[in-house]
Amino acid sequence: MAELIVISTLNGILFGMLLFLLSSGLTVIFSMMGVLNFAHASFYMLGAFFGYQLTRWIGFWPALVLAPLLVGAVGMAVERYGLRNTHKHGHVAELLLTFGLAFAIEEIVSMIWGKSPMDYRIPAALDFPAFTVFSTNYPAYKIFMLVVSVVIFVALLITLKRTRVGLIVQAALTHPSMVGHLGHNVGRVFMLVFGVGSALAGLAGVIAGPSLVTQSDMAALLGPILFVVIVFGGLGSLPGAFIASLLIGLIQTFAVALNGSLASVFGPLDPSLGPSPLTDIWNVTIAQVAPILPYVLLVLVLIFRPMGLLGTRES
Amino acid sequence: MTNPVTTATAATKDESGGTLSFYGIWLIAAVALVVLPLIFSSGGSLTSFSLIGISIIFALSYNILLGQTGLLSFGHAVQYGLGGFLAVHMMNAVASYDWPIPLPVIPLIGGIGGLAFATLVGWVMTKRAGTVFAMISLGIGELVASSSLILRSVFGGESGITTDRTALPHIFGWTFGPQLQVYYLIAFWVMISAIAMYALTRTPLGRICNAVRDNPERVEFIGYDPHVVRYFAYMFAGFFAGIAGGLTAINFEIANSAYLGATQSGLVLFAAFIGGTAYFFGPILGAILVTYLQLGLTNVTSVWQLYFGIIFIGIVMFAPGGIAGILMKHRPLIRARTLGTVIPSYLVAALPTLALVLGIILSIETVARYTASEGEGNVINLVGIPFVATAPTTWAVAVVLVVGGFLIARVTWRRVAEAWDRAATVARDRGYLA
Amino acid sequence: MHRLIVAAAALAMLGGTASAQDSLKIGYIDPLSGGGASVGEGGLKTFQYLADELNAKGGILGHKVEIVPMDNKTNPQESLVQAQKAVDAGIHYLTQGNGSSVGAALEDFVTKNNSRNPGKEVLYFNYAAVDPSMTNEKCSYWHFRWDANSDIKMEALTNYMKGQPSIKKVYLINMDYSFGQSVRTEARKMLGEKRPDIQIVGDELHPMLKVTDFSPYIAKIKASGADTVVTGNWGQDFALLLKAAADAGLKVNWYTYYAGGAGGPTAIKQTGLDHQVFQISEGIPNSGNKAAMELEKDFRAKANMSLWYPRAVNEMRMFKAAAEKANSIDPVKVAAALEDMKYEVLDGGEGIMRKDDHQFLQPIYISSFGTLADKAKEPFDEENTGWGWHLVSKIETANATVPTTCKMKRP
């Protein structure tokens, strides 16, 4: 049992940090531009595929740097030539643009790389068990992922708190229009932020690709969870996104680790009742409902605290 | 009640037109629905018409939310699917208990199913508009779709629940076995629902919905609670989506969890938006186009999703009013009789634009075929000319078409804009354009 | 080329008229776009190859066999639209495999269509949808299944496991849908009967195609002390499960239904589980049967993939035999001829299309995946891994049979 707890905690934190790499960019973009970027998870997917391709050509370590930069460039192009032109039609149009973009990116990726999972391997230098908890190996690559996520988190924190750009971004989080009035080139800041946000998603893709799956439906798998994270944490709140990421990562991992259903607690129902929704609910295990727990949380939070955990603005 | 807020819908503008032409349009639509299957009588066309009819109701119901009330929903298929499930359960119950309920009433049951769920969750969901509503609709959509796989006794797992539409009591000797009879049943409900939804836009509630979309604060000042208005809009949308779901259940004789999923919600958003949400008939155009593309395009190209995405992006960026928006833009020019001055520039622009579009299609297909595994046909048949995906000439042609088409099209479209401005100025002078 | 043919066909259908041709068309309804496309394209290549094979020998009763690809995006509704299109175009034979949900919908469709439109009957040849209910409570006279349903496979598998004393603790992990559930229930029931000493230490259902990281599940398997895992997982749910197992250093034997699917062999090779992953199937590349291995070789050369569906070979060849027996390509007569028809299957041994439920009963093979000792005897590897399937046990037809509850309604 203790083994399960240690491993699940590690896995939960790791998944949570990955979610944060993605949600941080999404949150900052949303706060500044008011755009909920539906294609954000697609940038994550692009990162994984670029990472895979570059790894085959020039090796993993250069790919780790280059692939996120490429994704960032794609993101900036999307902002410059897509979103900026759509801005005049309102936020719904912007949201729909990214919605269509997510569709198109998925299809382009599967057109080029096919629909099967890629053989994207963990670099040999990191392909060994880092340590053994009780009898379970914990792979070094996962530790590497954790380290990268934490480093990025710290770097992001320092950038936001200590640099001029960070100051502008922070100001834009709470007072988006005021920043413009102060004479900053809002367009360029937007483009930069969008690029950095996409690059972060791309980085998450590059490091998650070998460990999880690199496949053309990976964006669609992760996308909805991402929205849960940023709405749950509070739209526009970075600390909120951080807490929500970790919380959802841990909840999902632990829900899977737990056995148990109403039937195992209260005993099985009288079989003479026959199949009914009650028996369905009675027999379902916590592990089975693990993937829908985030959505339950989302709905609850929106009902009782529409601004999210640490959010200040309602929409 | 007097109309307190000026709105921008077609509904108000129509009042200036004669009532005769107004009823004429509905009459023509009804006649067209009756006559269509007589002209195109093959089974394939009947299937297509039935599906188009259903998606028209669905898209119109979606537009009660997006177009009229300004609520962007990513989970509209929930009401549609639940309506479908209730309809299927009802049909099975009617068949096994011999209730005297004929098939044509079943869509109403579907509607009640959609309405019931909308009533249940709507109050909480419509507390906020904008992004929060969009996200919560996405969340509820995922939640219901996932739960449907857990509640097997109700939703039948992933294989769903089947039914037999001919097992219900027959009326007028119609068994509803043949597709033609099902088509007429759908056509009947399309007419009823379309008229009802149009009427809804003309009621005080419909008008106040527009006001809530445009300026919720002012609505509050005049004594309405925007939350209540959104709630009502949500319930009506749920009701009509449920009718569409019920009709789908009748058409396919099966309901399963795919009805409730994100794909279905995405498609209806596509249909409504591509058609144009600002006008009542926009979603109808969108539903026809999207369903037709879905049926036809999937057989022609494996990357149909990409074309969907590109069309969608194109509409969002260049014509946010959708097809209906483009069409209605020309109305004042026609009235002012200045459209003739624009048409030549359109014709000039058409050629390079066509080249650009063909170039894009050729590039996409080339890449798709080139990267596809062997054994996949690599000959692209574009406007009757065969292109081989692996041949450098094909790539060259594609590049020339895209680059050349783009450069020339850009110039010609500037011409169109200039011609348009001139025509619009004249129209404005003549008082047809505000 | 096929897309162009379909394009033309589609236009003709939407336009209204479908021209009658002398060729014998089989509607292939499976995903050709979207998530399931890689599997669907593989099946399509197989059937096209088999059609070419038949045509080279004069087709079926002189009719050229033509496979008409129809994309259903793994969606039941879409499949029904395509099936209707096929019927409207005068196609009398449908074949489909991916997704029991689609299979159940199609089975229902052909039953209704054939009772409502006499003279326009359609047969549904099922090559991979293995939900047992399709040949039990939902059985239809117009549906024929060449794949062994999941109960039969479990019967064969447990008959094999019965003789393996090293198996002591079994963990079940399956996808949470009808197929996964039938695997788990049958495994519990049959193991309980045949090897009551085996302990079921875990019984897991996880959401289908939604899990990105299986390490929590692996941690649970590890904690349970299992020595054997039985899983019906396929596609990414199989690949990811094994990946996580390798990461955590889990050393157990895996008994699987679909380890050989696309991406599976690559995943096994990555994990380094040499001959520890077993698959239960109705045929394997390295079966030792000469004719079958020659076909495998030719198929690999032409289609650039391994023969995933030996059952498709049985299906098409039996179709020809049945049509010749009936001396007609009329679906009603072919259906009658198929009933209780005996046939020598691709890898050797006699199979029979059971009249009671239209389930094909055939020998079942258990094979393990790993390094191939004798390249001359076992020439075929998978997905360029250098590893291949090695025959472990052949379960004869008699030991791979379960009774049916089908009450067949005959026309």
Question: Which residue segments constitute the domains of chain C, with CATH numbers given?
Answer: 2-148+292-361 (3.40.50.2300), 151-281+365-399 (3.40.50.2300)
Across the range C338-353, mean pLDDT stands at: 92
From the list B160, B263, B373, which residue is nearest C76 (CB)? B160
Q: Which of A21-30, B348-357, B379-388 has the lowest mean pLDDT?
A: B379-388
**Chain B positions in Cβ-Cβ contact with residue A217 (cut-off 8 Å):** none
Whole-angstrom distance, CA of residue A295 vs CA of residue A254: 16
pLDDT at C125 over 50: yes
DSSP H helices, C264-303, are 264-271, 290-303
Backbone phi, then psi, for C178, in 5-degree steps? -55, -40
Size of interface A-C (CB pairs under 8 A): 87
Q: What is the mean pLDDT of chain A?
A: 84
pLDDT at B2 over 80: no
Q: In chain C, what percentage of residues exceed pLDDT 70?
A: 94
Paired with A277 in beta bridges are none
Alpha-carbon distance C177 to nearest alpha carbon in chain B (angstroms): 7
Would you say C201 and C230 are in contact if contact means Cβ atoms under 8 Å apart?
A: no
pLDDT at C9 over 60: no
Highest averaged pLDDT of the listed ranges B58-62, B211-215, C177-181: B58-62
Q: A65 pLDDT band (50/70/90 cuts)?
A: very high
Greatest distance between any 2 Cα atoms in chain C: 65
Would you say B65 and B71 are in contact if contact means Cβ atoms under 8 Å apart?
A: yes
Alpha-carbon distance B284 to nearest alpha carbon in chain C (angstroms): 19
DSSP H helices, C117-259, are 150-161, 178-194, 215-224, 236-248
The predicted pLDDT at position A128 comes to: 83
The predicted pLDDT at position B4 comes to: 38
> Cβ separation of B305 and A36 shorter than 8 Å?
no
Would you say C31 and C72 are in contact if contact means Cβ atoms under 8 Å apart?
A: yes
Full domain range(s) for residue A6: 2-304
The predicted pLDDT at position C4 comes to: 41
Q: Assess A305–B contact: CB distance below 8 Å, yes or no.
A: no
The predicted pLDDT at position C127 comes to: 94
For residue A34, tell me if it sits in a domain: yes
From the list C38, C217, C249, which residue is nearest A256 (CB)? C217
| Exposure b/e, A36-71, CB count within 10 A at least 16 = b | bbbbbbbbbbbbbbbbbbbbeeeebeebbebbbebb
> Cβ separation of A91 and B130 shorter than 8 Å?
yes
Across the range B346-365, mean pLDDT stands at: 88
How many domains does the structure of chain A reveal? 1
For residue A310, tell me if it sits in a domain: no
Neighbours of C219 (CB within 10 A): 26
> Cβ separation of B302 and C16 shorter than 8 Å?
no
**Chain A positions in Cβ-Cβ contact with residue B142 (cut-off 8 Å):** 224, 292, 295
Q: Assess A279–B contact: CB distance below 8 Å, yes or no.
A: yes
The predicted pLDDT at position B174 comes to: 83
Q: C35 pLDDT band (50/70/90 cuts)?
A: low
pLDDT at B54 over 70: yes
Highest averaged pLDDT of the listed ranges A14-23, B103-112, B287-296: B103-112
Across the range B209-230, mean pLDDT stands at: 91
Size of interface A-B (CB pairs under 8 A): 132
Is the dihedral angle over the CA atoms A240, A242, A245, A250 positive or is it negative?
Answer: negative
Q: Which of A283-287, C165-169, C405-409 has the lowest mean pLDDT?
A: A283-287
For residue A142, tell me if it sits in a domain: yes
Burial class (CB in 10 A: 0-12, 13-18, 19+), C240: buried
pLDDT at B273 over 70: yes
Q: What is the mean pLDDT of chain C?
A: 87
Whole-angstrom distance, CA of residue B344 vs CA of residue B342: 6
CA distances to A28, A100, A173, C336, C358 from C340, in Å: 67, 53, 73, 9, 8
Can you give the pTM of this predicted structure?
A: 0.88
Residues 6+ apart with CB under 8 A from A62: A54
From the list B124, B309, B316, which residue is nearest A107 (CB)? B309
pLDDT at C392 over 70: yes
CATH code, B10-321:
1.10.3470
**Domain residues of chain B, as ranges?**
10-321, 331-429
From the list A86, A111, A292, which residue is nearest B147 (CB)? A292
Backbone dihedral region of A74: left (phi > 0), alpha (psi from -120 to 50 degrees) or beta? alpha
**Chain C positions in Cβ-Cβ contact with residue B41 (cut-off 8 Å):** 16
For residue A99, tell me if it sits in a domain: yes
Q: A164 pLDDT band (50/70/90 cuts)?
A: confident
Across the range C55-72, mean pLDDT stands at: 91
Nearest to B271 by CA among B211, B220, B324, B235: B324
Contact residues, chain B to chain A, C-beta under 8 Å: 70, 72, 124, 127-132, 134-136, 138-140, 142-143, 146-147, 150-154, 262, 266, 269, 273, 303, 305-306, 308-310, 312-313, 316-317, 320, 364, 367-368, 371-373
At C188-228, the pLDDT tens digits run 999 999 999 999 998 888 887 777 778 888 888 988 889 99
CA distances to B74, B206, B239, C46 from B279, in Å: 21, 13, 20, 49
Higher pLDDT, A133 or C302: C302
The predicted pLDDT at position C37 comes to: 76
Backbone phi, then psi, for C395, in 5-degree steps? -95, 120
The predicted pLDDT at position B343 comes to: 85
Whole-angstrom distance, CA of residue C102 vs CA of residue A37: 34
The predicted pLDDT at position C5 comes to: 43
Residue A106: CATH number of its domain: 1.10.3470
Query: What is the ipTM for the molecules in this complex?
Result: 0.85
Paired with A261 in beta bridges are A285
For residue A312, tell me if it sits in a domain: no
Enter the tokens of residue C129: 């949808």
Whole-angstrom distance, CA of residue B314 vs CA of residue A6: 50
Q: B139 pLDDT band (50/70/90 cuts)?
A: confident
